[in-house]
Amino acid sequence: MIYRLEDIVYVQVEVTSKCNSACPQCPRNVFGGRDLPTLPLVDLTLEDCQKIFPEDFVRSIKTLYMCGTYGDPIVSRYTLDTVRWLRSVNPSLEIGLNTNGSAGNASWWSALALLLGHHGYVTFSIDGLEDTNAIYRRNTSFKKIIENAKIFIGEGGRANWDFIVFKHNEHQVESARQFSKEMGFSNFTAKRTGRFFDKNHKMLDKQPVLNKNGEIEYFLEKPEQPQYQNQSLSLYENVVKKYGSFSKYLDQTHITCNAKRKSELYVSAEGLVFPCGWLHDRLYGIQVEDTPSSKQLLAMIDKNGGMDSINAKKRPLKTIVEETFFNLIEQSWRLKTVAHGKLERCAVMCGERFNTVGHQYDEKGHIHERPMTLQTHSKA
Ligand code: SF4
Ligand code: SF4
C-alpha cells in the first residue's frame, strides 16, 4: 500500500480541464496552438466534490489546492461554491489555487479572498511583465491579471507570484520581483524550467510554438543566465554518462515516490484518482502520444478494471487508494526493468538521480516544498 486514506495531508484537485490560455508547454494544447482534440472538457461540480471527498476526509487533511494538469480553476463556474463548501466543512483547511489570473470579475476575486481568509492562497503564474507574459501565457491579459491580483490582495487574500524564467523574460526577473513587493504579493519565486525535453527524453535547445493551423509562430528558449537554468539539464548528462543511456538508468533507478513522501493525493477533473499529476499527464497530450509511459499506464488502468475503476465519482476514494489501483502502482516499482512493468513515468519523476521536470527549483536551487504544484499553472 502506498498509504492509507487517513494518512493523506495534501490533496491536489483539478476542478476543470478547461482554460482561457494556451501555454506552449501545457499538455492541454498542441504546443500553444489548438486544444487537444482528445481532451475531455469537463468540470468537477460541487456535487461531484461532495461525493468524492467525504466530510470526515475534508476535516482530516491539511491542504487542498486546486491546480491540476489540463485546466485552470478560475474558468470553472463551480470553483467558488466548492471553496465555500470546503471552508464550511473545515474552517482551518488551507485552500490554494494556482492560476494564470486572467479571468473572473471583481466580485469573483473579492469573494474568493474573503472565503480563503487567513487559511488560503492564490499562486498567480505570471511569467514576465506586460510585454512578455503572454509569450508563454498565451491569450492572457497582463492588465487584467494585475487588476484581479489587486482586488484579491486588497480584500486580504494571500498571493504568490511564480515566474517561469525563459530567455525572453530573464532580464525582467528583478523588476517583476520589485513590482510584486509593491503590489503586496507575499512571495515571489523565479522558477527554473525543466521542460525542455521531448517525449523521448531528449533535451531540446528550443521549443517551437504553433498557431491553431499548426504553423510555427516563434520559439521558446531556455534562459542564458546560469542562476536560472534547471539542474535537471546537467543531471541528465550525468545520468547518461554513468549508465550508458537514459533508458538503462530508468531500468536501474530506485523509486522514492514523492506523493508517498508528502502524503499527497491527486484527483482529476474527470474524477480520476492518482497519487500525483505526473501520472495523470500520461493520459492526454501531444507529448505522450504513443509513448511507452502512456501505454504502460493505460495497460495498468485496464488491468485494474478500466477508467471507471479509478474514478472517485463511481468508486469510493478509499477503495482506489487502499485496495486496488494504488497497489498496482506501488508493486510496479519493485519490478526489474521498465520492460518488466516498472512504471517509466515513476522512474523519470521519482528516480534517485534525475528527479527532474516536476521539481520546481527556485533560483537558489532549492526544491519547492510547497505541495507539488507540478503541472499546469506553475509548469516549470
Ligand atoms: S510519479 Fe510515481 S513515484 Fe512519483 S509521485 Fe507519482 S506515483 Fe509516486
Ligand atoms: S499551464 Fe495552466 S494556464 Fe497554461 S494553458 Fe495549461 S492550464 Fe492553462
Q: H helices then E strands: how many in the chain?
A: 15, 10
279 lines ligand 1 (CB under 6 A): yes
Q: Is residue 324 part of a domain?
A: no
Q: Is 165's C-beta closer than 6 angstroms to any atom of ligand 1?
A: no
What is the rounded distance in angstroms from the CA atom of residue 84 to the CA atom of residue 69? 23
What is the number of the ligand 1 atom nearest to the C-alpha of 333?
Answer: 3
d(CA 76, CA 199): 30
Query: What secondary structure does DSSP assign to 290-324, as a single string?
Result: T-HHHHHHHHHHHHHTSGGGGBTTTS-HHIIIIIS
pLDDT band at 361 (very low <50, low <70, confident <90, very high): very low
The residue ranking higher by pLDDT, 188 or 357, is 188
Residues with CB under 6 A from ligand 2: 19, 21-23, 26, 28, 71-72, 100, 376-377, 379
Site to probe by mutation for ligand 1, drawn from 276, 296, 297, 360 as the one with most ligand atoms within 8 Å of Cβ, is 276
Nearest protein Cα to ligand 2, atom 4: 23
Q: What is the mean pLDDT of residues 1-20?
A: 97
Q: Which ligand is nearest to the CA of 263?
A: 1
Atom 1 (ligand 1) nearest CA: 346
Tens digits of per-residue pLDDT, 208-231? 999 999 999 999 999 999 889 887
Does any ligand 1 atom lie closer than 6 A to the CB of residue 275? yes
Please tell me if the CB atom of residue 374 comes closer than 6 angstroms to any atom of ligand 1: no
Indicate the pLDDT class of residue 355, thresholds 50, 70 and 90.
low
pLDDT at residue 214, as a whole number? 95
Higher pLDDT pick, 38 / 355: 38
Grid cell locating 353: 538521480
Least confident of 139-148, 230-239, 346-355: 230-239
Nearest-atom index, ligand 1, CA of 345: 1
Split into its structural domains, the chain has a count of: 1
Cα-to-centroid distance, 11 and ligand 2 (Å): 19
Mutate to test the pocket of ligand 1, among 3, 69, 274, 279 (most ligand atoms within 8 A of CB): 279
CA distance 305 to 331: 17
Tell me which of 266, 282, 345 to substitute to probe ligand 1's pocket, judged by most ligand atoms within 8 Å of the beta carbon: 345
Q: In this structure, what CATH number is given to the domain that contains residue 101?
A: 3.20.20.70
Q: b/e for 91-103, b at 16 or more Cβ within 10 A?
A: eebbbbbbbbbbb
Note whether 145 and 153 are within 8 A (CB): no
Q: Does a structural domain hold residue 296?
A: no
Name the percent of the chain lying above pLDDT 70.
Answer: 93
**Where in the chain does DSSP place strands (E)?**
10-13, 63-66, 94-99, 120-125, 159-165, 187-192, 206-210, 216-221, 264-267, 273-274
Average pLDDT over residues 289-296: 91
Task: Record the pTM.
Answer: 0.93
Query: Residue 236 domain-assigned?
Result: no
pLDDT at residue number 310: 98
% of the chain exceeding 90 in pLDDT:
82
Domain residues for the domain of 66 are: 5-230+259-291
Check pocket membership of 346 for ligand 1, CB cut-off 6 A.
Answer: yes
Alpha-carbon torsion 48, 52, 57, 63, what sign? negative
β-pairing, 264-267 vs 273-274, is: antiparallel
Instruction: Tell me whether residue 338 is in a domain.
Output: no
| Residue 31 lies inside a defined structural domain of this protein | yes
Q: Is residue 196 part of a domain?
A: yes
Nearest-CA residue for atom 7 of ligand 1: 275
Convert the pLDDT of each residue in 127-171 to its tens digit.
999 999 999 999 999 999 999 999 999 999 999 999 999 999 999
Q: Using 50, 70 and 90 to split pLDDT, how confident is the model at 120?
A: very high
What atom in ligand 2 is closest to the CA of residue 70? 7
**Best CA proximity match to 73, nearest among 27, 119, 124, 16:** 16
Ligand 2 centroid vs 29 CA: distance in angstroms? Answer: 9
Average pLDDT over residues 330-343: 96
Position 107 in a domain: yes
Confidence check: pLDDT of 369 > 80: no
Residue 347 lies in a domain: no
